[in-house]
């Protein structure tokens, strides 16, 4: 049986992604599609080269709730941080644990872990993508508004790694994605070209109002990601702040989402994130449920099969 990695959404069949969201929703509602403690005796190694709240807690709790356990490895706690190659780290971890999750700046480290190891590897975040987050986002929309196919999702601000994973997700799940970004902070052209070749309905614009108009969901992210010190970005992104007036342009029952952490009155006003549109806490909770689905799929296969 081939190793089931969870590296990027564009690498997985739409049917698999659909099954993962359905499983996540079932788990949230108390179902046990894999039975009780299906990962008993299994261990997940979690490598953190970037700080984390939601990724660390959700993955660790996910393993515990599935009957397994997790080992946390910080960047300065490993020989990887002292010059050991990723390939050698992958070979060693494959002898100790059953799966690896990595949160890193360098996407190539993720790919090297998958190439040289013999166990599943999960992308907890890289500089290029954030697929677990976006799967939780899709799950949140469906939990509140039903099937995402045909809906209009608007991304406001920096065309960053989360935006790239949304380009993949929109193409796989059959929704329209509008990206309102400054011209100098647009989305990854490689992701856009992939979407074009695969029939994605992706619209890129600098006009935020047009992007938000009649949208089913509006989302944004921080203006300065971890490690970024370029304060000029704030000036570029200020016109893309999500305000109450902007939310009023969306559909009357539109949702507001943010992958957190949030900086109130920067990328969105406090009135938006704390207002009636916001489902950010459900979105954060759903990281736990979708990660349980992803881990079970990586280690056991699809539920019921």
| Positions marked catalytic | 103, 130, 133, 221, 259, 287
Structural contact between residues 44 and 56, judged by C-beta atoms closer than 8 angstroms? no
Classify the phi-psi angles of 229: left when phi > 0, otherwise alpha if psi is within -120 to 50, otherwise beta. alpha
Q: Which residues pair with 154 in a beta bridge?
A: 178, 218
- Per-position DSSP letters for 129-181, written without gaps between them: --HHHHHHHHHHHHHHHS--TT-EEEEES---HHHHHHHHHHHHHT-EEEEE-
Residue 223: both structure tokens together: 């203006």
| CA nearest neighbour of 157 among 60, 70, 75, 268 | 268
Q: Which residue has the tokens 């939310």?
A: 247
Could you tell me the end-to-end alpha-carbon distance of the chain, in angstroms, rounded to an integer? 14
CA distance 203 to 151: 13
Q: Which residues pair with 271 in a beta bridge?
A: none
Residue 49: both structure tokens together: 């080269």
| CA nearest neighbour of 173 among 155, 146, 206, 193 | 146
Residue 256: both structure tokens together: 């507001």
Query: Is 38 in a helix, a strand, or coil?
Result: coil
């Amino acid at each position: 049986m081939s190793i089931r990695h969870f590296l990027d959404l564009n690498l997985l069949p739409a049917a698999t992604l659909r099954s993962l969201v359905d499983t996540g929703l079932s788990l949230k509602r108390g179902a046990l599609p894999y039975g009780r403690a299906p990962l008993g005796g299994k261990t997940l190694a979690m490598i953190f080269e970037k700080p984390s709240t939601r990724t660390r807690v959700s993955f660790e709790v996910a393993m515990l709730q599935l009957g397994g356990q997790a080992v946390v490895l910080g960047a300065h706690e490993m020989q990887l941080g002292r010059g050991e190659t990723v390939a050698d780290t992958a070979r060693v971890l494959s002898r100790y644990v059953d799966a690896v999750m990595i949160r890193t700046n360098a996407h190539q480290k993720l790919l090297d872990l998958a190439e040289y190891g013999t166990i599943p590897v999960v992308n907890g975040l890289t500089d290029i993508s954030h697929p677990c987050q976006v799967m939780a986002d899709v799950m949140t929309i469906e939990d509140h508004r039903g099937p995402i196919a045909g809906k209009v999702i608007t991304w406001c601000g920096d065309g960053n790694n989360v935006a790239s994973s949304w380009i993949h997700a929109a193409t796989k799940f059959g929704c329209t994605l509008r990206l309102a970004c400054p011209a100098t902070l647009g989305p990854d052209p490689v992701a856009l070209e992939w979407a074009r070749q695969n029939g994605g309905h992706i619209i890129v614009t600098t006009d935020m109002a047009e992007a938000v108009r009649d949208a089913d969901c509006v989302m944004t992210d921080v203006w300065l990601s971890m490690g970024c010190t370029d304060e000029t970005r704030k000036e570029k992104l200020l016109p893309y702040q999500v305000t109450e007036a902007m939310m009023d342009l969306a559909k009357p029952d539109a949702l507001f989402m943010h992958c957190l952490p949030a900086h109130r009155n920067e990328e969105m006003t406090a009135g938006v994130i704390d207002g009636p549109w916001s489902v950010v806490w459900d979105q954060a909770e759903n990281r736990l449920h979708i990660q349980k689905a992803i881990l079970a799929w990586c280690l056991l296969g699809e539920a019921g099969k």
